[in-house]
Amino acid sequence: MIEPPFLLYLGRSTDPVGIKTSRGLATFRPRDCVGEFRHDDCPLTLGLPRLSMDDAAARGAKTLVLGIAHAGGAMAPALIEDAHQALAAGLHVASGLHHRLRGVPSLVAFAKARGLRLIDVRDPPPDLQVGTGMPRRGRRLLTVGTDCSVGKMYASLALAAGLRDRGAVADFRATGQTGILIAGGGVPVDAVVADFISGAIEQLTPARTDAGWDVIEGQGSLFHPSFAGVSLGLLHGAQPEALVLCHDPARREMRGLPGRHLPDLEDCLARNLEAARLTSPQVYAAGICLNTAALDEAAACALCVATEDRLALPVTDPHRFGTDPILDFLCTAPSPSATTASR
């Protein structure tokens, strides 16, 4: 879909969470990333070579990926100017922002004149149907969160990889811009018209009879007033056999909503299970993934143990400690779809 190698865009970002798309590509597709583009006033780095547009093109880069994310997804004039510079250097430009590249006439004209592509990743498929909630075969796991940007994509990728390492058939199903860029396909669920959200996920994860897993990347949070609608549609369309709850223990307030506190893990998990039962009556909780990046290793380990004791569920930080505790649980759980799904 997008031609590598990539130059990853940081621009003038100052929020580490806001560069999660560029960071995700640097983490999961490092061989396809030649460097990062950032201005002097950007304090962030991915640890890649800092390159100009021309330098990146000279090193073989084919596409500038505007790998930033923020509420609303608008393109500031400075970002549009940077995209112009990329085109001038001979690079295609890809973006996952809600503000489409093709909605900027000057970029469209310049790209056309130079024979280059503008790729809008957040374009849903054109043939989506409304969801039905009808039972379908297959094993599906959905990551959910106490907030947005707490590690649902990373946990999903790690769980899918862990299942494959154990000899299981498992596919990561991307639902956001970063996941789609990493996987090379998916459905940008937050760009889908509300009536079609559950149907989009049913289409992304059709019935399967190979005993394999679809590990579905969650979005937002049922407790986040801005994004709960997308989270609920995902729950219903996924018809998950299992849920894994993701949480950042260092987060004190909802992202973008000062003063609104995160929910308790117990309450958040209970509400997600309750909502999921509309289309998956036998759904169960398979574990908790904590993003402990702000803690030292001893404190992170202690928090995982304490949380596991409190919730009586497997708890891990998938980046630091791997996914074995949750996979051990999953691999011993019977498949409810084998007996309850329509044949």
What's the pLDDT score for residue 331?
A: 86
| Average pLDDT, rounded, for the chain | 94
What's the pLDDT at 72?
A: 57
Residue 338 has pLDDT above 90, yes or no: no
**What pLDDT does residue 73 have?**
64
* pLDDT at residue 232, rounded to an integer: 98
pLDDT tens figures, 12-58:
999 998 899 999 999 999 999 999 999 999 999 999 999 999 999 99
Give residue 339's pLDDT: 41
159-168 long-range contacts (CB < 8 A, ≥24 apart) are 159/215, 159/244, 159/318, 159/323, 159/326, 159/327, 160/213, 160/215, 162/322, 162/323, 162/324, 162/327, 163/213, 163/215, 163/327, 163/330, 166/327, 166/331, 168/211, 168/212, 168/213, 168/331
125-146 per-position pLDDT tens digit: 989 999 999 999 999 999 999 9
Q: Quickly count: other Cβ atoms within 10 Å of residue 110's Cβ.
A: 17
- Supply the pLDDT for residue 341: 42
pLDDT reported for residue 270 = 98
**pTM as predicted:** 0.91
Q: Is the peptide bond before 125 cis (omega within 30 degrees of 0)?
A: no
pLDDT value of residue 98: 86
What mean pLDDT is predicted for residues 315-334?
93
For 244, the 3-state DSSP assignment is: strand
Is pLDDT above 50 for 1? yes
Cite the DSSP H helix spans in 99-183: 105-114, 152-165, 177-183
> Each residue of 227-273: pLDDT tens digit?
999 999 999 999 999 999 999 999 999 999 999 999 999 999 999 99
The pLDDT assigned to 76 comes to 86
Domains of the chain: 6-120 (3.40.50.720), 139-340 (3.40.50.300)
User: pLDDT tens digits for 183-196?
Assistant: 989 999 999 999 99
Task: Tell me the residue ranges of DSSP E strands in 134-241.
Answer: 139-145, 170-173, 213-216
Our measurement of the distance from residue 262's CA atom to the centroid of its chain's CA atoms, rounded to an integer in Å, reads: 20
Q: What are phi and psi of 94, to 5 degrees?
A: -120, 145
Residue 74 pLDDT grade (very low, low, confident, very high; cuts 50, 70, 90) = confident
Sign (positive or negative) of CA dihedral 274, 276, 280, 283: negative
Q: Are 32 and 25 in contact (CB under 8 A)?
A: yes
